[in-house]
A and B are shown apart, each in its own frame.
Chain A
Amino acid sequence: MLKIDNLTANVADKQILKGISLAVNPGEVHAIMGPNGSGKSTLAQVIAGHPGYEVTGGTVTFEGQDLLDMDAEVRAQAGIFLAFQYPVEIPGVSNAYFLRAAYNEIRKARGEEEVDPMEFLDVMTEKLKIVEMTEEMLQRSVNAGFSGGEKKRNEILQMAVLEPTLAILDETDSGLDIDALRIVAEGVNKLKRPDRSTIVVTHYQRLLNYIVPDYVHVLAQGRIIRSGGKELALELEERGYDWLLDTAGASA
């Protein structure tokens, strides 16, 4: 599904990603962990197509297509979704309008009929339940004045509506209390299908109790320094990252 090969990328002329390789197959859940500033969000944004990140080398293919050649909206239409670490506020654009616009773009790309506002409301009624949000939030401007938890839930709501084939969650668990964490995790799990994959970027092992990963990767200083099964997350929880960094430093 997603194949990243020796990807390097710069931000503001500084190299952040220093050769990432990663393969995600259909149905798999991958967790990416690592210290602050190691490049996790950069990787997520590069996959989503943020123009501010300059890819300097390597390849990324998604379902056989060259992803790096596509505009961000085309990637989304192809089935990629990024739940932002810092969701953006858009005052003046209602959540309802925004979601329906996105939903219809993605339907169009899949060759499906667009839906009108009434039909869309039916879709939303179902999806809102997943994140335990009320219709009232549809009338609010996108993320404007939302609490941290509301913003994260809104990301999951969008994901539930757009039903991506590859969802990347960038620290969606940060700053959530245990209830919100459960809601987010259930949202992700409900979406799970053999043909859909998820990349979970997280700081904490606790999310992985709910979203059980098939693989865990440790990203540090722009490189994946260790990959393993879900037990690696537990080990990191216990021992932190330092022991890995030392090994990585020694081998570099």
Chain B
Amino acid sequence: MSAQSNYRDVFDATAHPDARKAWLPRMKIAAIEQFEALGFPTTRDEDWHFTSVSPIAERTFKPVRPSPSTLTAADLAPFTYGQSDWHLLVFVNGHYEPALSSFAQLDVDAQVMTFSEAFKEAPELLAERLGTLAPRTQAFTALNTAFMADGVVIRVPVDIALEAPVHILHLTDAHATNASQHPRTLVIAERGAQVTLVESFATIGGGTYFTNHVAEVIVGDGARVDHYKVQREGGAAYHVGTTQATQGRDSIYHSFSFATGAQLSRTNVYAKLLGENCEVRLNGLYALEEAQHADHQTFVEHIAPSCSSREVYKGILDGTSHGVFNGKVFVHPEAQKTDGKQTNKALLLSEGARVDSKPQLEIFADDVKCTHGATVGRLDDMALFYMKSRGIGADRARALLTYAFAAEVLELIELEPLKVALEALLFERFIPPDAA
């Protein structure tokens, strides 16, 4: 365990301009100490059994200084889903780019701003809420807290609906080679508030870099948050991301995770159902090829009674890729009338692809309905033959069935332009161009 001590050196060598807010350096120092104490997880850790992070642990990725971005709005086009009327916050190599960002008119008194702005305009927001949700016992989260340079805070006040979705786009370019970025997001939807958030990760460089993202989402009583994550990092990148949501009574939290990028990725989506009668949906789709490795972990903690949780995760694996899915559901003794359903399906397109799926139900209440189902399969031979018998060639038939497998879960995306964009992305990926 020597790898993490490098991060201490990097930490100590980093200037901490945020020192003017005493609580922040304190929090960061506590975090790096926590990280040192925890060390990177190993495959002996139950939660990391199928995923070795040694490629990340064995090298030291350092944050890069902001450098004047050469990117233009045109460079962003492939990543903005054709939407110009969303609130767009662009980060390049971990640093906010005001010139590339744009805000739709905020006709309500909601706040959408970077941490730097928040320190000036609403310092109490961060002081009170930042770091209150993110699981402290996870090394990557501690690392994020220690190194986060900037982030985005969204606060939607009582009974306000933020009309336009907020899109936080994290781009890396060639400067990011061997660099790390530790983006952070804080969402506070107060009682009855509504907001849609899209977080995208993409690259215009393709070098080896490490993204370590943390999002904290507070869903107040009767509030609704729709939260999309699109992970399209470069093929040489490493990506670790943790989202922790807490839900008040009668609230709704919908999460969708889309992942096609990175050579090694781990995506955690955790929801704590604190109030009665709330609804959580954790859905996701990943598509891997070559030697990609993607690990998804979800954790729904039913603390209050009468909540429903729905999960559908699907994976498409080609080449020698490896997918891991671990869906945990924990039902506390007080959480009677819990209604939980989890489905996890993987489609293997090659002999060399592999998936490890582990549903984990721990139920301590007696009046609950919890089901889970996991399947790993290949393309349906009957359907393939049926298509061929109509003149559709074998490759095309396979592509269509693969796309259809994915489309079924993309259907669950309620943000129409995003759904259309992701469908198009997969369509392009699976359907040969002459066949479209």
Q: Which A residues are within 8 Å of any B CB, using their own CB?
A: 48-52, 71-73, 75-77, 81-82, 84, 87-93, 97-98, 101-102, 105-106, 109, 141, 158, 162
Is B435 on the interface with A (CB-CB < 8 A)?
Answer: yes
What are some 30 contacts across the A-B interface (CB < 8 A)? A48-B389, A49-B389, A50-B385, A50-B389, A52-B385, A72-B389, A73-B388, A73-B391, A75-B389, A81-B390, A84-B386, A84-B389, A88-B383, A88-B385, A88-B386, A90-B387, A90-B401, A90-B404, A91-B404, A91-B408, A92-B403, A92-B404, A93-B401, A93-B403, A97-B400, A101-B400, A102-B390, A102-B391, A105-B390, A105-B396
**Chain A neighbourhood of B99, CB < 8 A:** none
Docked Cα-Cα span, A81 to B382, in Å, equals: 16
Is B417 on the interface with A (CB-CB < 8 A)?
Answer: no
Docked Cα-Cα span, A83 to B386, in Å, equals: 10
The 7 lowest CB-CB distance pairs between A and B, nearest first, are A92-B404, A76-B391, A102-B390, A88-B386, A72-B388, A105-B391, A73-B388
Given contacts A49-B388, A81-B389, A98-B392, 7 further A-B contacts (CB under 8 A): A48-B389, A72-B388, A81-B390, A87-B386, A92-B406, A93-B400, A93-B403
Known contacts A93-B401, A105-B393, A98 near B388 by CB under 8 Å: no
Is B405 on the interface with A (CB-CB < 8 A)?
Answer: yes
Docked complex: B312-351 residues within 8 A CB-CB of A: none
Q: How many A-B residue pairs have CB under 8 A?
A: 80
Docked Cα-Cα span, A61 to B392, in Å, equals: 21
Contact A90 B383 (CB under 8 A): yes
Q: CB within 8 A of A76: which of B388, B406, B408?
A: B388
A120–chain B nearest beta-carbon distance, Å: 14
Is B133 on the interface with A (CB-CB < 8 A)?
Answer: no
**Chain A neighbourhood of B148, CB < 8 A:** none
Is B57 on the interface with A (CB-CB < 8 A)?
Answer: no
Contact A106 B391 (CB under 8 A): yes
Q: Which B residues are within 8 Å of any A CB, using their own CB?
A: 380-383, 385-394, 396-397, 400-401, 403-408, 435
Interface centre among B387, B393, B405, B435 (most CB of A within 10 A): B387
Contact B385 A51 (CB under 8 A): yes
Docked Cα-Cα span, A73 to B387, in Å, equals: 8
Contact B389 A93 (CB under 8 A): no
Known contacts A50-B385, A51-B385, A84-B386, A105 near B392 by CB under 8 Å: yes
**Chain A neighbourhood of B387, CB < 8 A:** 90, 98, 102
Docked Cα-Cα span, A105 to B432, in Å, equals: 14
Tell me if B's interface is mostly helix, strand, loop or mixed.
helix
**Chain A neighbourhood of B405, CB < 8 A:** 92
Docked Cα-Cα span, A52 to B385, in Å, equals: 10
**Chain A neighbourhood of B381, CB < 8 A:** 52
A239–chain B nearest beta-carbon distance, Å: 35
Contact B389 A76 (CB under 8 A): yes
B234–chain A nearest beta-carbon distance, Å: 29
Docked Cα-Cα span, A98 to B400, in Å, equals: 9
**Chain B neighbourhood of A51, CB < 8 A:** 385
Known contacts A90-B386, A98-B387, A73 near B392 by CB under 8 Å: yes
Contact A102 B385 (CB under 8 A): no
B258–chain A nearest beta-carbon distance, Å: 17
Docked Cα-Cα span, A51 to B389, in Å, equals: 11
Q: CB within 8 A of B392: which of A87, A88, A92, A101?
A: A101
**Chain B neighbourhood of A88, CB < 8 A:** 380, 382-383, 385-386
A54–chain B nearest beta-carbon distance, Å: 15
Contact A72 B408 (CB under 8 A): no
Q: CB within 8 A of B385: which of A72, A91, A101?
A: A72
Docked Cα-Cα span, A48 to B390, in Å, equals: 10
A22–chain B nearest beta-carbon distance, Å: 20
Docked Cα-Cα span, A48 to B408, in Å, equals: 29
Contact A82 B392 (CB under 8 A): no
**Chain A neighbourhood of B401, CB < 8 A:** 90, 92-93
Closest B residue, CB atoms, query A106: B391
B52–chain A nearest beta-carbon distance, Å: 34
B4–chain A nearest beta-carbon distance, Å: 44
Docked Cα-Cα span, A172 to B393, in Å, equals: 25
B431–chain A nearest beta-carbon distance, Å: 10
Docked Cα-Cα span, A92 to B388, in Å, equals: 17
Docked Cα-Cα span, A73 to B384, in Å, equals: 10
Docked Cα-Cα span, A81 to B391, in Å, equals: 9
**Chain B neighbourhood of A72, CB < 8 A:** 385, 388-389
Contact B396 A71 (CB under 8 A): no
Contact A73 B386 (CB under 8 A): no
Closest A residue, CB atoms, query B408: A92
Docked Cα-Cα span, A88 to B389, in Å, equals: 11
Docked Cα-Cα span, A49 to B386, in Å, equals: 10
Known contacts A73-B394, A77-B391, A92 near B386 by CB under 8 Å: no
**Chain A neighbourhood of B404, CB < 8 A:** 90-93, 141
Known contacts A91-B404, A91-B408, A82 near B391 by CB under 8 Å: no
Docked Cα-Cα span, A141 to B382, in Å, equals: 16
B250–chain A nearest beta-carbon distance, Å: 33
A243–chain B nearest beta-carbon distance, Å: 36
B409–chain A nearest beta-carbon distance, Å: 9
Contact A101 B396 (CB under 8 A): yes
**Chain A neighbourhood of B393, CB < 8 A:** 73, 105
Q: CB within 8 A of A162: which of B382, B391, B407?
A: B391
Docked Cα-Cα span, A51 to B394, in Å, equals: 12
Docked Cα-Cα span, A101 to B397, in Å, equals: 10
Docked Cα-Cα span, A84 to B385, in Å, equals: 11
**Chain B neighbourhood of A102, CB < 8 A:** 387, 390-392
